[in-house]
Structure 1
Amino acid sequence: MSKRDYYDVLGISKGASADEIKKAYRTKAKELHPDRNADNPDAESQFKEANEAYEVLKDADKKAAYDRYGHAAFEGGMGGGPRPGGGMGGNGDFASAFSDVFDDLFGDFMGGGRGGGGRNRATRGADLRYNLRISLEDAFSGMQKSITVPASVQCGSCDGSGSEGGAEPQTCPTCSGMGKVRATQGFFTVERTCPTCSGLGQIIKNPCKTCSGAGRVEKERTLSVNIPKGVETGTRIRLAGEGEAGMRGGPPGDLYIFIEVERHKLFEREGETLFCRVPVSMASAALGGDIEVPTIDGGRSRVKIPAGSQSGRQMRLRGKGMPGLRGASVGDMLIELAVETPVNLTSRQKELLREFEDLSEDNNPESKSFFKSVKGFWDSMKG
């Protein structure tokens, strides 16, 4: 069976550019890979055919020979395809051809393309997290808070280079500065981090005695953090450049302050709204009157209780809640009444309450309505 034209195999025209050839092969390699075509018995042979076509067309000299003589340019020897020293053959087809597009397919996953990690020896420092607990009063008014953060800082002895005296690192002999090494296994080329330089692409012959070649040392730092008004649990504050120092002169990471607002004894919070549950006596709830309630700013407000108030009744104090985190808005405070039943009554108090109960038949409309409904329910069940 005669071989197909290499351009037809990749689905391109004869005048295709190098980038177009590479793009076409990449598409075919994904489409025809045997692992993706378990139900197609022809996938493997088509896959090899695409590899063979790309191996020729990616090389300017081989492409010129193929354009002039066709497949005859490579005939002779074992099977009529490009050979080692002039091409490909056997299981080397995919390893040779696919290595050129390996970075395009997996470059981002592996760290930025061929040798991407090794050519930039400086690496950014890690970000740090600090959990900060504050009171509701501090969240209301805002504050300046000093915190102590254990972190890595740039080594002063070598200025972050990791080398004694600040000397420049040398190219890693194992990966030739690429930061990665490759191994061919059958059809696949496997790329992994260089074990000698750990992906940096460079090694230090004479490490700094202070930091042992890391370019950074452990040290506690004291920072001043501005906590704005209105922060809530979960609010995140970013301090740029205050994280771990970078490796070998790389930029530092960031520090993230995560806020946790402690529970308050008097107030509950929901966004900008504050809730305060205030107990009142039966007499005060029945007769009405004024009560004094606290506010989050440390002040006091007088609230009028309407006569006949029940437990759960709410009254709003406008502008007495929490400030908004962004903007000039201020929430409200809701006062919730809790009518308290007296305990530990004296004999006289019990006597007065019984007398009051005998006289209050028409003073409990809710109870009267409820028991009337209960009686109707029982009567209907009997019917």
Structure 2
Amino acid sequence: SDIFGEIFGGGRGGRSTVFRGADLRYNLEISLEQAAHGFDTKLRIPAMATCESCKGSGARPGTAPTTCPSCRGAGQVRVSQGPFSIAQTCPRCHGSGSIIPHPCAQCAGSGRIKLQKTLSVKIPSGVDEGDRVRLSGEGEPGVNGGPPGDLYVQVHIKPHPVFTRDHDDLHCEMPVSITSAALGGEIAIPTLDGSAKIRVPAETQSGKTFRLKGKGIKGVRSQAPGDLFCHVVVETPVNLTERQRQILREFDAISQQDSARHNPRAKGWFDKVKEFFES
């Protein structure tokens, strides 16, 4: 019978089995600036903690759990299956090996209570979407004296009104007026550390990209910060006055006199369209 007991899980020791507490996850939404520079914060989270009234035993103060009479503390009972005797989890104590005749009023016999706790956490600079910060031992408490689990703070970065992030690099659109694009000029652009100026050369086209080295984000595992890429978008003027319209018409008339010189891309495109329809 000892051999079959080993095969079918008939070993004793239901009361002595300890379990590590479950790990928990907390989703934390932060700004891009916070992700870049890092910060300290406090989290108020729901948690399970050992009941102080019964010290985790589940029994009313002044009483104690007693040995389960059905399994005599083994946590398992034997059930006859023909010529065999098979061990199963005790249905009365659910494998714990003990019962609680007088449950603790504070935790209803579970040995644990729900509460809100405040934790301090340091979010390192350079964290990216989905990164996790581990708080050791701040998960759920263990069972039967087992160690607690861990709490993982998972970072989620809110969309930014100006920048998009690509690993350690940042990208942004840079609206440029039609006159600045044509004549050139100096344009102030935002960065995560303030503002910077870019010299836009004359005759700059939409799609032109300017790179500001080191103006991106230094990732958690990076040796140096990434770069900031500014993508030019030449802005067509709107809400024009009649005088402005007149000036633009005059400008267009002058430009048409030598369109291949002033609008080479448009001229080349129209030539290709013309060839397409004539072929």
TM-score past 0.5 threshold: yes
**Whole-Å separation in 2 of the counterparts to 1:308 and 1:217:** 70
Instruction: Write the distance in 1 (CA, Å) between the matches of 2:197 and 2:191.
Output: 10
CA RMSD of aligned residues (A): 2.5
| Match of residue 323, structure 1, among 215, 218, 242 | 218
Q: How many residues are paired up?
A: 275
Please tell me the residue identity of whatever aligns with 2:104.
Answer: C
Query: Displacement of 1:196 after TM fit?
Result: 1.1
Post-superposition CA distance 1:4-42 (Å, at most 9, x none): xxxxxxxxxxxxxxxxxxxxxxxxxxxxxxxxxxxxxxx
Matched, 1:368 2:267: yes
**Residues of 2 paired with 1:145 and 1:217: CA distance?**
25
2:178 to 282, 285, 297: 282
- Which residue identity does 2:34 align to in structure 1? D
Aligned to 1:345: 240
Whole-Å separation in 2 of the counterparts to 1:353 and 1:338: 20
Do residues 225 (structure 1) and 131 (structure 2) align? no
Report the Cα distance in structure 1 between the residues aligned to 2:37 and 2:234, rounded to whole angstroms.
32
SS in 1 for 2:41: strand
**What is the CA–CA distance in structure 2 between the aligned matches of 1:120 and 1:370, rounded to whole Å?**
82
**In structure 2, how many angstroms separate the alpha carbons of the residues matched to 1:139 and 1:191?**
55
Distance in 1, matches of 2:165 and 2:100, equals 56
Using CA pairs under 8 Å that are at least 6 residues apart, name the structure with larger relative contact order, 1 or 2: 2
TM-superposed CA distance for 1:187, in Å, is 8.8
Please give the per-residue CA displacement for 1:136-174, whole angstroms capped at 9, x wherever unaligned: 111111011101111111122222222334765333222
- Partners of 1:188 and 1:278 in 2: CA distance: 80
Unmatched 5+ stretches in structure 2: none
Contact kept in structure 2, 1:130 and 1:255, CA below 8 Å: yes
Distance verdict in 2 for CA 1:283–1:186, change over 3 Å: farther
Whose helix fraction is larger, Structure 1's or Structure 2's?
A: 1
Q: Choose from 282, 296, 309 the match for 2:192.
A: 296
2:206 aligned residue: 311
Deviation at residue 344 of structure 1 after TM alignment: 1.7
2:44, 2:119 within 8 Å by CA — same for their partners in 1? yes
Q: Distance in 2 between matches of 1:166 and 1:133?
A: 46
Using the alignment, how far apart are the partners of 1:271 and 1:184 within structure 2?
A: 63
Question: Which of 141, 146, 155 in structure 1 is aligned with 2:37?
Answer: 141
Counterpart Cα distance in 2 of 1:288 and 1:184: 93
1:356 matches 2:251: yes
1:162 maps to 58
Partner of 1:241: 137
Q: For each residue in 1:86-105, what CA deviation from the matched residue of structure 2 results, as whole angstroms up to 9, or x when unmatched?
A: xxxxxxxxxxx8664345xx
| Inter-partner Cα distance in structure 2 for 1:351 and 1:374 | 29
Alignment counterpart, residue 203 of structure 1, candidates 91, 95, 99: 99
Give the SS at the match of 1:144: strand
Higher Cα Rg: structure 1 or 2?
Answer: 1
- Contact 1:135–1:261 (CA under 8 A) maintained in structure 2: yes
Contact 1:161–1:167 (CA under 8 A) maintained in structure 2 = no
Match runs of 1:1-383 below 5 Å: 100-103=6-9, 114-115=11-12, 118-165=14-61, 169-185=65-81, 192-297=88-193, 299-360=194-255, 361=259, 362-380=261-279
Measured at CA, do residues 329 and 202 of structure 1 come closer, stay the same or move farther in structure 2, by a change above 3 Å? farther
Normalising by structure 2, we get a TM-score of 0.88
Which protein is richer in strand relative to its size? 2
**Equivalent-residue separation in structure 2 for 1:260 and 1:228 (angstroms):** 14
SS at match of 2:275: helix
Q: Report the Cα offset of residue 252 of structure 1.
A: 1.8
Contact 2:21 2:140 (C-alpha < 8 Å) held by counterparts: yes
- Any idea what the Cα deviations from partners look like across 1:302-335, whole Å, max 9, x if unmatched? 1111221111211111111111112432111111
Give the TM-score taking structure 1 as reference length: 0.66
| Percent of residue pairs identical | 50
- Matched residues in 2 for 1:181 and 1:359: separation? 100
| Aligned residues of 1:121 and 1:202 also touching (Cα < 8 A) | no
In the alignment, structure 1 segments of 5+ residues that lack a partner are: 1-54, 60-96, 104-112
